[in-house]
Amino acid sequence: MTDNKRSSFTGQIGFVLAAAGSAVGLGNIWRFPYLAAKDNGGLFILLYIILAVTFGFALLTTEIAIGRKTKQSPLTAYGKINKKFKGIGTLATLVPVLILPYYCTIGGWVLKYFVDFATGKGFDAAADGYFTGYITQQIQPIIFMLIFLGITAFIIYCGVNKGIEKLSKILMPILLVLILGISIYSLTLNYTDEAGITRTGLDGLKIYLVPDFKNITLKTFFVTLMDAMGQLFFSISVSMGIMIAYGSYVGDKTNLMKSIKQIEIFDTIVALLAGLMIVPAVFVFMGKDGMSAGPGLMFVSLPKVFSNMGTAGNVIGFAFFLMVIFAAITSSISVMEAIVSSIMDRYGFSRKKSATIVLLYTIVVGIIVCLGYNVFYFEITLPNGSVAQILDILDYISNNIFMPLVALLTCVLIGWVAKPKTVIEEATKNGEKFSRKGTYIAMVKFIIPALILILLFQAVGLLKL
Ligand code: PHE
């Protein structure tokens, strides 16, 4: 690719929009709330916010700066900083390969719910057992997954990402307003169960926000920390080469520091609000037991919230799932593009050929993921305590093993081999202020590597707490 084509973002706004489009997606709306609920709120939220302003900031800055400095794709960018570290590129490219099939599966679930609400059948989805009944079907989930994948692939084939980004400038604020409105409504809910116990939205809010320090053990602390860290990587799209690729498209005049702050803030706000919309409502309708539902959480609890709203609920549900589809598509195109562009760079294939290879692969693995809930059903318990099917295993390997490993190696490269000044100088080359410099250096040199090492040992079961 020529340099000209690389700096293809139209300035600051274009870059922030594209990066935020990649960052804000199912991770924020589907993944964050179910982890927050599983880990009982409070502590998870606290750790996530602390990690976002330290870890998240450091990793995002590092990757975008590496991208802009080297002007290369992740496959070769690490090697350009230091030859010995070339391997990180390959490892980072594997992450989106693992993510894409299951991301499309969940995208398919969202699509199905959207169709339900669009055809006035949204309230059926509020019935107990609807979600499980749906994913255990063999054919429909595959069809919806394929449609979601088809839309993603179509955009990648045509290279029309730019138009999608412009559209997301209008749709993202609408999504935010909807989430905010639904969250406020959730807090007004109350429900009395068969045992005669009444739970309110405000009780749920307390669980969501206030850490319950009394019941924390070392083990739950580490599991929560690991979940929060994996979630952060996934949510800001780091440790998988995507932000390096985006960094390589950024013009030299763009103020990186300011852009990074905007991306970080927007991504975190959407996640926190999505949790606010879902977690208290789960507590109201299903009590503490319902909170460990896992990946299905949003699909189980939101229809109940919408049906509680009465007639308006169908329209709001319709609008909500539509916006989520958009947020998911702007992310899934970045996941697919990461793989496609790596294949193009590595093997010199055309865009069409690379995209076709990725498409075929994703169809096969995507179908296997869908069948994981029926034909290939099994239950295995992961080191973080959740009972997993194929989707969860792919998610766990990518978020809790591969991404931390990529982050660890990147920190060794920047913290010790190339030195933090490589990134700091790149990020401040137009005289910008690097506002969290001390934190940044301490993070990449010591804190991130140390913490990741502990968590990795735990993730692979070597450290038992
Ligand atoms: N960050 C995206 C989200 O929160 C997901 C994603 C993962 C995007 C990996 C790109 C790469 O949904």
* pLDDT bucket at 158, cuts 50 / 70 / 90: confident
Which positions ≥6 away from 189 have C-beta within 8 Å?
Answer: 200, 201, 204, 280, 281, 284, 285, 305, 308
Ligand 1 atom nearest the C-alpha of 331 is 8
Q: Does the CB atom of residue 242 touch ligand 1 within 6 A?
A: yes
Q: Does the CB atom of residue 256 touch ligand 1 within 6 A?
A: no
Give the C-alpha separation, 262 to 254, whole Å: 13
pLDDT in tens, 12-30: 777 888 888 899 999 999 9
Average pLDDT of the chain to the nearest whole number: 91
pLDDT higher than threshold 70 for residue 398: yes
pLDDT higher than threshold 60 for residue 244: yes
pLDDT higher than threshold 60 for residue 3: no
In this structure, is the dihedral angle defined by the CA atoms of residues 102, 106, 109 and 110, taken in order, positive or negative?
negative
Q: Does the CB atom of residue 26 touch ligand 1 within 6 A?
A: yes
Cross-strand bridge partners of residue 387: 381
Which residue's CA is the nearest one to ligand 1's atom 4? 27
Most confident of 114-118, 247-251, 298-302, 341-345: 114-118
Q: What is the pLDDT of residue 427?
A: 95
Which residue's CA is the nearest one to ligand 1's atom 9? 237
Identify which has the larger pLDDT, 143 or 9.
143
Q: What is the pLDDT of residue 105?
A: 98
Q: What is the pLDDT of residue 289?
A: 86
pLDDT higher than threshold 70 for residue 144: yes
Q: What is the pLDDT of residue 2?
A: 39
Identify which has the larger pLDDT, 418 or 462.
418
Using the mean position of ligand 1's atoms as its centre, give its distance from the Cα of residue 22 in Å.
6
* pLDDT bucket at 239, cuts 50 / 70 / 90: very high
Mean pLDDT of 329-351: 90
Residue among 109, 334, 362 to mutate when testing ligand 1 (max atoms within 8 A of CB) = 334
* pLDDT bucket at 151, cuts 50 / 70 / 90: very high
Mean pLDDT of 139-166: 88
In this structure, is the dihedral angle defined by the CA atoms of residues 339, 149, 59 and 226, taken in order, positive or negative?
negative
Query: In the chain, what is the straight-line distance between the N-terminal and C-terminal CA atoms, in Å?
Result: 49
Q: Does the CB atom of residue 235 touch ligand 1 within 6 A?
A: yes
Mean pLDDT of 379-401: 90
Mean pLDDT of 87-99: 94
Identify which has the larger pLDDT, 363 or 460.
363
Among left, alpha and beta (phi > 0; psi -120 to 50; other), residue 196 is left
| 369: its two tokens | 């993921």
Q: What is the pLDDT of residue 309?
A: 85
pLDDT higher than threshold 70 for residue 7: no
Using the mean position of ligand 1's atoms as its centre, give its distance from the Cα of residue 236 in Å.
7
pLDDT in tens, 187-220: 999 999 888 999 999 999 999 999 988 889 988 8
Give the C-alpha separation, 250 to 280, whole Å: 40
Q: What is the pLDDT of residue 6?
A: 54
Q: What is the pLDDT of residue 18?
A: 83
Ligand 1 atom nearest the C-alpha of 236 is 1
Q: What is the pLDDT of residue 13?
A: 79
Using the mean position of ligand 1's atoms as its centre, give its distance from the Cα of residue 258 in Å.
21
